[in-house]
Each structure stands twice: as C-alpha cells, then as structure tokens.
Amino acid sequence: MNVERWPDSRASIAFLDFEASGLGPYSWPIEVGWSVNGGQPKSVLIRPEPSWSMDSWDEQAERVHGIEMSDLQDHGLSPADVCEQLDAELAGLSVYTDAPEFDGYWLAVLYAALERQPTFRLLYMDELLASFCDSLRIFLAKTRAKAIAPPTHRAAEDVRYLNELYRQCLEAN
C-alpha cells in the first residue's frame, strides 16, 4: 500500500500508539506503533521487563488486543531495543497521540525501566487538529477516518487511523 506523505510544511509530525497489559495503575506497555510524516506505520511487541508486575496482566485487555503473553516472550523486543528504535526514528519530533493520559503513562513506564527519557515530545492529537480545523470538521474527519482505517486496538492499525484522521483534516481545509 502506497501511503501519501504529508506536505513539506507538516514534515515533522509523527503519531504514536501503545497497547498495554491492562488499564490499571501498574499496567505496562506490550506493543508500540508509530508513523513519521504520514509514512507506513511500524510496530513492535515489547517483552516485559522483570520488574513489571505480572499481576497487571489483564485477561480482558488480552481479549481486546488479542496479544498473548507468549507472543511477547517469543517475539517481543527488550525495552532497551524498543527505546533505541523510538529514539532513532522520533528524536526531536513532536509526536502526537489521541490518548496522552494512557500513552504518556506507558511511554514513561517503558523509559523508566531504563532510567532515561525519550528524545521526543508526546503531545495531544486533538490540540494539533484544533490548530487548523474547527470542531465540526474534526468530527466529520473522525467519522471518515474510522470508515477508512478503523482502530483495532493494535498499535500499527491505530496509528494508521491517526494518519488518516490527520489527512482528512488537512483535506477539509
């Protein structure tokens, strides 16, 4: 699939989404997806850090995202490898998410495992959209984006939705 890239004036925009072990206060990230400048979304599974509580594995969350613990153990990257990859691709960028209260928490948990900070800023997608698109156009763009790239609770697919939402808002102007 050929993904349209953003115009040069928007060339430093990235989107990010996490899936997690659950929604509780001790949950931890299990998958992260991202896309830079409207490019093809990427995602990686995250192998749990030994310090992350297995009591925070929520079977209801597993049913939603469909990722099993064995998937993480067999195919997940270490938190160090994930942070290296994110920092290499997102360094210095403004990175947007549609759920900063959750994604920001899981980003912090991921980097705290290594006692370091990300090299990028995580920002709220709705603020970006509101900077150039009114609320009615945002609502209509969300409806169209969900029809074209429905969020599935998998990180890459949810980032694909964010890409499409942004594209729809750009076209509305």
CATH number at residue 117: 3.30.420.10
Query: In this structure, is residue 92 part of a structural domain?
Result: yes
Q: Which domain range does residue 62 map to? A: 10-130
Query: In this structure, is residue 167 part of a structural domain?
Result: no
pLDDT score recorded for residue 12: 83
Query: In this structure, is residue 111 part of a structural domain?
Result: yes
The pLDDT-based confidence of 4 (bands split at 50, 70, 90) is: very low
Q: Name the domain count of the chain.
A: 1
Query: In this structure, is residue 168 part of a structural domain?
Result: no
Q: What is the per-residue pLDDT across 66-116, written as a single tens digit (0 to 9) for each?
A: 999 999 999 999 999 999 999 999 999 999 999 999 999 999 999 999 999
Asked whether the predicted pLDDT for residue 38 surpasses 60, the reply is: yes
Do residues 130 and 138 make contact, with C-beta atoms less than 8 angstroms apart? Answer: yes
N-term to C-term CA, the chain: 25
Query: In this structure, is residue 123 part of a structural domain?
Result: yes
Lowest mean pLDDT segment, chosen from 10-14, 35-39, 150-154: 10-14
pLDDT score recorded for residue 5: 53
- What Cα–Cα distance (Å) separates residue 145 from each residue in 68, 126, 148? 28, 14, 5
The pLDDT-based confidence of 3 (bands split at 50, 70, 90) is: very low
pLDDT score recorded for residue 125: 96
Do residues 130 and 103 make contact, with C-beta atoms less than 8 angstroms apart? Answer: no
Asked whether the predicted pLDDT for residue 7 surpasses 90, the reply is: no
Query: In this structure, is residue 156 part of a structural domain?
Result: no
The pLDDT-based confidence of 34 (bands split at 50, 70, 90) is: very high
Mean confidence (pLDDT) of the chain: 93
Write down the pTM of the prediction.
Answer: 0.93
Question: How far is residue 149's CA from residue 143's CA, in Å, rounded to a whole number?
Answer: 10
